[in-house]
C-alpha cells in the first residue's frame, strides 16, 4: 500500500489536476469507475482562494464522495501560498500540491507554474514556508507535495536536483511530467528521465506523468522509471475507466475487457447526471458539449452523437440524444474500440439518426 505522508492511498493511481476539466462532477465520476487513489482539483490561484471568488469556490468544492482530495495551488514567492494552503485544508483538502509544472501563459506569466523551475533556490524556500504552515495548522496530518516538469528546457534539467531539495525540507511526494516547459504537450514524454528523479529521492514516492492513455502504459511507465505510482491526465478525459483497468492490471496481471459501447454511454450519462447535480442543467449542458469530443475518441465513429450534443439547444436534448444512442447499442456484445474494426449493420435498430453502418477507427494518439 502506498502512502503520501500520513495519507493512505488505496491505489497508486492519481487523477491529475486538469484546467477546465477536473471539477467535482468529473472527479467523482472517475472515483465511481474505480481505481483512483487520489483526485486533484483544477488549478487554484492562491489570491483568488483567499478572496473566495465564486469561480474558485466552485473549483475547490469537495465532499465525502471525493476523498482523499488533493488541491493544487499555484503562485510565487510574492503570493499568499501558505495562507491559501491553510484555507484549502480547512475546506477539505487531504493533500496540498504545489504547481511547479504548468507551462500555459495564464499560470507561468504570473511567475508560477513552470517558472518556479528557473529558480530552484527560491522555489525550495517557498515550498518550505508552505510545508511549515500546513504542518503547524494540521499537526502533520496533511502532506504537501509538488508537481513539476523535467526543467524549463533540455539544457536545464533541474527535476532531480529540485526534487532532492524539496524532499529535504519536507515535501512528501513529487509528481514529474516527463517533458520540458518549452515542449508544452508536444513530442514524447521521457519516462527514463522520470527515473532519474526516482533515483534522486528514494525516500519519498515519485509519481510519473505524461502520455499515459492506456492501462498498459501505467505498467510500462512504472517499469521504465521505477516510480511508485502514476498520475493520469488527458487519458482520463477520454476514458474515466482507465484507473479501474490499470489497477486490475497492476493487481492481477490482466487488464480486463474494454468496456462495451453501451457501458461507455452509461458513463457519459452518469457524467451528465453528476454535472447537473453539482452545477445545474445549464452548466451541465456546456460541460458535455466540451467533453463529448474527448469521449468520442474512445467510441469510434459516433460523429452524429457528437454533433447532436454540440448543437443541442438545452439539457433535455442532450439527455435524449445519449439515451437514444444507449438504447441503440444495448444488445451488442462488442467492445466499442480496441483496434480498428467495423460495427455490423444495424438493420433492425431504428436510431432516428445516422448511427447505422458506421466504421469504428483506431483511436487518435496524443
The CATH number given to whatever domain includes residue 199 is 3.20.20.70
Tell me the pLDDT tens digit for each residue of 73-90: 999 999 999 999 999 999
Q: With cut-offs at 50, 70 and 90, classify the pLDDT of residue 331.
A: low
- Average pLDDT over every residue of 327-345: 47
Which pLDDT value is given to residue 256? 79
Q: Is the model's pLDDT at 135 over the cut of 90?
A: yes
Cis peptide leading into residue 300 (ω within 30°): no
Which range has the top average pLDDT, 90-94, 109-113, 184-188?
A: 90-94
Q: Is 329 left (phi over 0), alpha (psi -120 to 50) or beta?
A: alpha
Per annotation, catalytic residue among 102, 120, 227, 360: 102
Q: How large is the average pLDDT for residues 40-69?
A: 96
34, pLDDT greater than 80: yes
Q: Is residue 71 part of a domain?
A: yes
80 against 185, higher pLDDT: 80
Give the residue with greater pLDDT, 354 vs 71. 71
Q: Evaluate if residue 271 carries a pLDDT over 90.
A: yes
Task: Please give the tally of structural domains in the chain.
Answer: 2
Closest CA to 224 of 213, 208, 245, 246: 208
Residue 275 belongs to some domain of the structure: yes
Q: Confidence class of residue 344 from pLDDT cuts 50, 70 and 90?
A: very low
Is 354 inside any structural domain?
A: yes
pLDDT, residue 109, reads 62
Cell of 222: 512504472
What number of other Cβ atoms are within 10 A of residue 207's Cβ?
31
- Do 86 and 130 lie in one domain? The reply is yes
What pLDDT is attached to residue 184?
85
Q: Are residues 302 and 185 in the same domain?
A: no
So what's the pLDDT on residue 131? Answer: 98
pLDDT-derived band at 108 (thresholds 50, 70, 90) equals: low
Question: Is residue 43 in some structural domain?
Answer: yes
Q: Residues 240, 267: one domain? A: no
| Of the candidate ranges 225-229, 259-263, 353-357, the one whose mean pLDDT is the lowest | 353-357
Please report, rounded to a whole number, the percentage of residues in the chain having pLDDT higher than 90: 81
Can 102 be counted among the known catalytic residues?
A: yes
* Cα distance between residue 208 and residue 211, in whole Å: 10
Is residue 365 a part of any domain in this protein? no
Q: What domain range includes position 298?
A: 261-360
Give the tens place of pLDDT for each residue, 209-258.
999 999 999 999 999 999 999 999 999 999 999 999 999 999 999 997 88
Phi, psi of 149 (to 5 degrees): -105, 180
Amino acid at each position: 500500500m502506498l502512502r503520501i505522508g500520513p495519507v493512505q492511498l488505496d491505489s497508486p493511481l492519481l487523477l491529475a489536476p486538469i484546467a477546465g476539466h477536473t471539477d467535482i462532477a468529473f472527479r467523482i465520476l472517475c472515483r465511481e469507475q474505480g481505481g483512483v487513489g487520489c483526485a486533484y482539483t483544477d488549478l487554484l490561484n492562491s489570491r483568488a482562494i483567499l478572496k473566495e471568488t465564486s469561480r474558485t469556490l466552485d473549483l475547490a468544492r469537495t465532499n465525502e464522495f471525493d476523498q482523499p482530495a488533493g488541491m493544487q495551488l499555484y503562485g510565487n514567492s510574492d503570493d499568499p501560498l501558505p495562507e491559501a494552503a491553510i484555507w484549502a485544508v480547512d475546506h477539505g483538502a487531504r493533500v496540498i500540491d504545489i504547481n511547479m509544472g504548468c507551462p500555459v501563459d495564464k499560470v507561468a506569466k504570473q511567475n508560477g507554474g513552470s517558472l518556479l523551475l528557473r529558480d530552484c533556490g527560491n522555489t525550495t524556500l517557498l515550498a518550505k514556508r508552505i510545508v511549515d504552515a500546513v504542518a503547524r495548522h494540521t499537526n502533520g496530518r496533511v502532506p504537501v507535495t509538488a508537481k513539476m516538469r523535467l526543467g524549463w528546457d533540455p539544457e536545464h534539467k533541474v527535476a532531480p536536483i529540485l526534487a532532492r531539495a524539496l524532499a529535504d525540507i519536507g515535501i512528501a511526494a513529487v509528481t514529474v511530467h516527463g517533458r520540458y516547459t518549452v515542449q508544452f504537450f508536444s513530442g514524447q514524454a521521457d519516462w527514463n528521465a522520470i527515473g532519474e528523479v526516482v533515483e534522486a529521492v528514494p525516500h519519498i514516492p515519485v509519481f510519473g506523468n505524461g502520455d499515459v492513455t492506456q492501462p498498459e502504459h501505467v505498467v510500462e511507465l512504472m517499469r521504465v522509471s521505477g516510480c511508485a505510482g502514476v498520475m493520469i491526465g488527458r487519458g482520463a478525459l477520454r476514458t474515466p475507466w482507465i484507473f479501474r483497468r490499470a489497477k486490475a492490471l497492476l493487481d492481477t496481471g490482466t487488464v480486463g475487457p474494454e468496456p462495451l459501447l453501451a457501458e461507455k454511454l452509461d458513463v457519459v450519462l452518469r457524467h451528465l447526471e453528476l454535472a447537473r447535480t453539482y452545477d445545474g442543467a445549464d452548466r451541465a449542458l456546456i460541460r458535455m458539449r466540451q467533453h463529448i469530443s474527448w469521449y468520442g475518441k474512445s467510441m469510434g465513429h459516433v460523429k452524429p452523437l457528437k454533433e447532436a450534443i454540440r448543437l443541442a439547444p438545452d439539457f433535455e436534448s442532450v439527455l435524449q440524444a445519449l439515451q437514444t444512442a444507449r438504447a441503440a447499442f444495448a444488445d451488442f456484445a462488442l467492445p466499442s474500440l480496441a483496434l480498428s474494426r467495423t460495427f455490423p449493420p444495424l438493420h433492425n435498430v431504428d436510431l432516428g439518426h445516422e448511427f447505422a453502418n458506421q466504421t469504428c477507427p483506431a483511436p487518435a494518439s496524443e
